[in-house]
Structure 1
Amino acid sequence: MAALIRLLWPGGATARWMLISASMALAAVVLGVVLLAVSGWLIAASALAGIGALAVLDIFAPGAIIRAAAVGRTATRYLERLLGHEATFRQLTEIRIRAFSRLLAMPVERLEALGRGDTLTRLTRDVDVLDHMFPRLVLPSVAASGATLLAVVVALVLAPPAGVALVASLAGGGTLVLIVGVGMARGPGRMLAQATPRMRSATAEWLQGLAELISVGQAGRRARDVMLRVEEHLRAQLAQRRVEATMQAGLALAGYLGFWLVLLIGLKLHVDGLLSAPVAAGLALACLALVDAWLPLAASWSFFETCRQAAGRIDALGGSASPRPGAIRELPDFSVTVRDLAFRYPGAVDPVVSSCDLDIAQGEHMLVQGPSGAGKTTLGKLLAGVLTPDSGTVSLGGIDLRRLDETFLRGQVGFLSQSPMLFNDTLATNLRLGAPAATDDQVLLVLEAVGLSGFVDDLPNRLESWIGEHGRDVSGGEGRRLALARLLLADFPVLILDEPMAGVDAATAAAISERLAPLLAGRSVVVLSHDPLVLPAYDRRYSFTGGRIAPA
């Protein structure tokens, strides 16, 4: 529950929109109750007048009330939807900001793990689930409980026994049904939370690999595996629907019990001369209108457990982040020292990196050469602090990376991965991620250095051209060079470049290498590559094979 409050507690402006929206929802339900209650009073009074039991009947006042309630109910319902959407979108913005704030506080190593398996799918779904909590759970609950409270007050004034019956049956019994139902929904809620991402992941993997599966004759078998996940998801949904149906039956029982109790008590009070027949009919029909307001709460509160678990998982992202001890934020220099470095991926038999030692002076350029699959990328991630070694140390300026503040470290070491991320935004925005204050001239300078000045000239809006989601509008080689330009623009004092010239022909790579020299001067640079012939100039060369590094 605490996680729900931390993630969903609205800011000032959002809270105001929510309050106005909830007021409209409450007004819509209250007007619906008034509409039915006054209609019941008018029908009963008309019947009595028709048989001569009432000498005088004013139909104009109740008729006006009925018309006003009908129009007002329609208007407030529309305003509730309109304002509720605004409040929901504002809260969704806050939820996403809070979720991403937790992600930003995590070490890069854990962030990379989120992209594997169904973790990212589950995180996305959890945010979407919380997005529906206000319109689906909060608004109906506020409207139903507020209208019931007002009806109880009116009933206690007009007919105290009827008010007590309403409290005992609908308010008390309905609340008890919801409390028991929330407990019953916990199991199905957990099942659904686990089954949904598994089904989505299995379906996505099957579709992505369908061509290969067909070629090896395994498409049918994998399709059956997907269907098993679908059936698991359907079983979880069915279990949740059973709980919802049980809660709805309980609410209906409590509500209709209240209706009959209020009706019978009203008739008894009328016989005793303590209450007029039209008022008794109006109270009974008001109770009946309240039943309609309570019934949707079965679906709302069966959804509560799903929301609670989603909030718990998102909240745990920040709570489990391991801060670096010491949090040092200054360095004497930018030399890189590696001592007895070792790393093995979980579940692997052999280490990827074993007993590595390396010294890189400030401003020195070094090439680490090795065949594809030798583990150069893993070594680069260790040098950049993206991965944490199993043993040994990587030091920057003589200080172990694990003692440096995470944010400070990210500002000192730039890492060019083999799969750089480009965002669905303009070219300039993608390049300025690490240097927001960079001018257009500075951006164009680094683009020229990486051989993309002609590419920019051909774009319809030059630097303001959009490059598509994941950079889909650029080739792989162009995307790699854009990421390299982004690192150069950010002016990192230490650069780890993993296959910087991949996807570039030899002539272009040679020209780029020559233009990069002045931009790399003074920086500590480690280049990881299997091809030393098309790389920027380096001071020393090392080979990396079998998890070990040695002078070449």
Structure 2
Amino acid sequence: MASSTERTDTGFAAGIASLRPWIEVHASFRRRLVLGVVLMVLTALSALGLLAVSGWFITASALTGAALAAGMAATLDVYTPGAGIRLFAVSRTVSRYIERLYNHDTILRLLARLRARCFSGLVAMDGASLGARRSGDWLNRLTADIDTLDALYLRLLAPAAMALVLGAALVALVAVWLPQAALVLGVLLLFGWSWLTLGQARLGLAACRRRVVGLERLRSAMIETLGGLSELESYGALARRRGELEALEDELLAAQWRLSLITGFGNVLTTLVMGGAWWLVLIGGLAAFGGGQLGAAVLVMLPLASLALAEGLASLPAAFTQAGASLAAAERLNAIDQGCAAPAQASDATRAVAVHAAPRSGTAECGGLEIQATSLSYRYPRALDQALSPLNFRLAPGERAAICGPSGSGKSTLLALLAGELRGHQGRLTLDGQAVEALDRQWLSSQVGCLTQRVELFDASLAENLRLGAPEASPERLWQALVAVDLADWAQGLPGGLETRVGEGGRQLSGGQARRLGLARLWLTDPALVVLDEPYASLDAATARRVAEGIVPWLAGRTVLMLVHHHDPDSPSPGMEHIPRVIEMAAGTPWQARGECVTM
């Protein structure tokens, strides 16, 4: 089972470089992130002030009480330190509450931005790149990998910055009374901070990568096992599959055990750094106290203040040991940007060709696009046979035709080639005389309208799903689209009308309603070429005729391709009455042509 993580360099510097694009996304929230760090620093400094003032006040009160008991004259201002203690206690509580609320709100906004960027990259990728990986892998990147990146700010950058400021504040406080001890303390804290951040991240990088890869492989294997459980049981392969899953679990547990050991080492070092700081300040204070340079209250105050280091250092070992997960997630998400960059980018010359080749808007007055296919074929990467056998045809602007062929003959592949979703075909495919691979993808998306066999619907209202095709469409325009596909009466009977939610994946709709809703969404656009893949599937004869009649005015003047299994112009099936031409496609593979059944 091959690993699904792309890596070109395992070095720590390369990993940091892979984070740069996502740090740039974080930079768009610069003000919110800086304010979040300020709130964290305020919480830590309040803890430092609370310990310091409390230690001084308790010691000073004890000494004053002892002096009064001994009959000595002594005074102590209890109001100022008391007010300081209350101030630091309240500010620590309030600032921590606001910081948690504010930073988590920022992270949710940031994750939405990151997920939108990732989804945009997936949308821009061509079909061959998308098909090179399992859909579960892309879903894992869109969800788990994006969620992993929330640690970049919330658990890595912000706590490290806060710990650095807290350490500097403690050194500055100690330097007021113990300058020499403060210098040694600064060196100790700087070393400890460097190791607990960069050192822990470097030490746990390899194990963390193994854990991320192992977790993904186990997740994918479990999904595949559950999906094919009946087949595995039928062929007696379930025991072997269980063994493979156990081996993946063992690898994952080994990586997690290694990370636990590294985290434990970091926690020990944290304790040593905080303990060393405490002893250093205490010994330096005792020496100064013996020389009469330091009062007893301050002697107690400084070591207690050093205990506030736990506020900044305690969370660093566990967070930075897992930093490799963020690096791996960033590398995997960068692969999406790199995968869509080549097809999405076009040279100036290519864009000039695209603009020159687009004089029409797809309206009836301007006409459709001319299509020319010459020895057009396509083979998917690592496929045994061609998905599309050599095909030759020409459609004049505004002409309508049915592309007919059995399942697997390449009809959906032809649709993807016309839409620019697939590249790397053999032969020649042109639109208005221009090679389709040279045309700008944005122009293609506006001029080629496709209804695929699978209609993507989101858990949103009817109106929101329709407006994916035309964001500015008015409610009247939406109703016109529903009338065209014979869904208006149904939509008017819904309690919420256009605001009725369709459910996740459109599960509140039947298969026929979902396809018609997808057709209505396409109706709202203005393409010059319309490609409909089995548009009347799942519809009864009467509904198919009504839908066909409803979209006839919209199809007028456009070039139309219907992808169907069979079409006879002399005896058309319901909905196909207005398609006069048939283009036959050969079977996609030799065994299909011979009518054989092949078990893979």
TM > 0.5 between the two?
yes
1:72 aligned to 87, 91, 100, which one?
A: 91
User: Which one is further off, 401-410 or 251-260?
Assistant: 251-260
Could you tell which deviates more after superposition, 284-293 or 94-103? 94-103
Partner of 1:541: 582
Shift in Å, 1:80: 1.4
User: Are 1:16 and 2:31 counterparts?
Assistant: yes
**How far off is 1:264 after superposition?**
0.9
Of 531-540 and 332-341, the range deviating more from structure 2 = 531-540
C-alpha separation in 1, matches of 2:179 and 2:102: 37
Q: Does 1:39 align with 2:54?
A: yes
What amino acid is the match of 1:93? A
* Contact kept? 1:165, 1:258, Cα under 8 Å: no
Distance 1:500 1:318 in 2: 33
58, 63, 75: which one aligns with 2:76: 58
- Summarize the alignment of residues 395-544 of structure 1 with structure 2, pairs less than 5 Å apart: 395-532=430-567, 533-536=573-576, 537-544=578-585
Q: CA deviation at 1:112?
A: 5.5
3-state secondary structure, aligned to 1:490: coil
Q: Percent identity?
A: 36
1:438 CA displacement: 3.1
Look up the equivalent residue of 2:317 and give its one-letter code.
A
Measure, in 1, the Cα distance between the counterparts of 2:546 and 2:84. 84
Structure 1 residues 269-278 or 436-445, which shifts more? 436-445
State whether residues 130 and 307 of structure 1, in contact with CA within 8 Å, keep that contact through their aligned partners in structure 2: yes
Distance 2:440 2:127 in 1: 12
Give the 5 Å matches for 1:117-196: 117-196=136-215
Q: How does 1:202-221 map to 2 (within 5 A)?
A: 202-210=221-229
Is the Cα contact below 8 Å between 1:178 and 1:247 reproduced in 2?
no
State the partner residue of 1:356: 391
Please say if residues 133 and 307 of structure 1, whose CA atoms lie closer than 8 Å, have aligned partners that are also in contact.
yes
CA distance 1:83–1:449, change in 2 (3 Å): closer
Query: How far 1:130 sits from its partner (Å)?
Result: 1.4
Normalising by structure 2, report the TM-score. 0.84
Which 5+ residue runs of structure 2 have no aligned equivalent? Answer: 1-15, 360-367, 568-572, 590-600
| 8 Å Cα contact 1:341-1:354 kept in structure 2 | yes
Amino acid across the alignment from 1:379: L
Q: After TM superposition, give the deviation of residue 363 of structure 1 in Å.
A: 0.7
In structure 2, the partner of 1:372 is 407
* Structure 1 letter corresponding to 2:388: V
CA distance in 1, matches of 2:542, 2:232: 39
Structure 1: tracts of 5 or more residues without a match: none
Code of the residue aligned with 1:90 in structure 2: it is R
CA distance in 2, matches of 1:486, 1:19: 43
Which whole-Å CA distance do the structure 1 matches of 2:164 and 2:579 have between them?
73
CA pair 523-13 structure 1, distance change in 2 beyond 3 A? closer
Letter in 1 for 2:451: L
Taking a change above 3 Å as real, the CA distance of residues 245 and 504 of structure 1, as seen in their structure-2 partners, is same
Check the 8 A contact 2:373/2:391 in 1, yes or no.
yes
Q: Using the alignment, how far apart are the partners of 1:502 and 1:37 within structure 2? A: 76
Asked whether the equivalents of residues 324 and 402 of structure 1 are also in contact (C-alpha less than 8 Å), the reply is no
The reply to whether residue 276 of structure 1 matches residue 259 of structure 2 is: no
> Which amino acid is the alignment partner of residue 76 of structure 2?
D
Q: Secondary structure at the match of 1:435?
A: coil
Q: What amino acid sits opposite 1:31 in the alignment?
A: S
Alignment of 1:391 with 2:426, yes or no, is: yes
CA contact (8 A) 2:49 2:88 kept: yes
Contact kept in structure 1, 2:141 and 2:333, CA below 8 Å: no
Q: In structure 2, what is the equivalent of residue 310 of structure 1?
A: 329
In 2, are the aligned partners of 1:352 and 1:546 still within 8 Å (CA)?
Answer: no
Determine the C-alpha separation between the residues in 2 that align with 1:429 and 1:494.
24
Structure 2 SS opposite 1:528: strand
CA offset at residue 105 of structure 1? 4.3
Q: Deviations over 1:108-147 (max 9, x none)?
A: 5435656634233133211111123322223322322111
Following the alignment from structure 2 to structure 1, what is the Cα–Cα distance between the partners of residues 119 and 110?
A: 14
**What displacement does 1:334 show?**
0.9
After TM superposition, the structure 1 stretch with the greater mean CA deviation from structure 2, 230-239 or 461-470, is: 230-239
Q: Residues 107 and 467 of structure 1: is their aligned pair in 2 closer, same or farther, counting only changes over 3 Å? A: same
Residues 1:247 and 2:266 are matched in the alignment: yes
The 1:55/1:214 distance shift into structure 2, 3 A limit, reads farther
Q: Which residue of 1 aligns with 2:364?
A: none
Question: Per the alignment, do residues 282 and 477 of structure 1 end up closer, same or farther by CA in structure 2, a change over 3 Å counting?
Answer: same
Task: Name the CA distance, whole Å, in 2 between partners of 1:155 and 1:91.
Answer: 39
3-state SS, counterpart of residue 305 of structure 1: helix
Query: Residues of 2 paired with 1:75 and 1:359: CA distance?
Result: 72
Amino acid paired to 2:507: R
Q: Do the aligned partners of 1:210 and 1:219 also contact (CA within 8 Å) in 2?
A: yes
- Rate the CA distance shift 1:424–1:487 in 2: closer, same or farther, 3 A: same
Task: Name whichever of 3-12 and 442-451 sits farther off.
Answer: 3-12
1:480-528 deviations in Å (ceiling 9; x for gaps): 1211222222121101111111111233323333333332221111111
Letter in 1 for 2:584: S
d(CA) in 2 for partners of 1:493, 1:47: 89
Q: Distance in 2 between matches of 1:425 and 1:8?
A: 31
Which residue does the alignment assign to 1:4?
Answer: 19
- Matches of 1:109 and 1:413 in 2, distance apart? 19
| RMSD (CA atoms) | 2.6
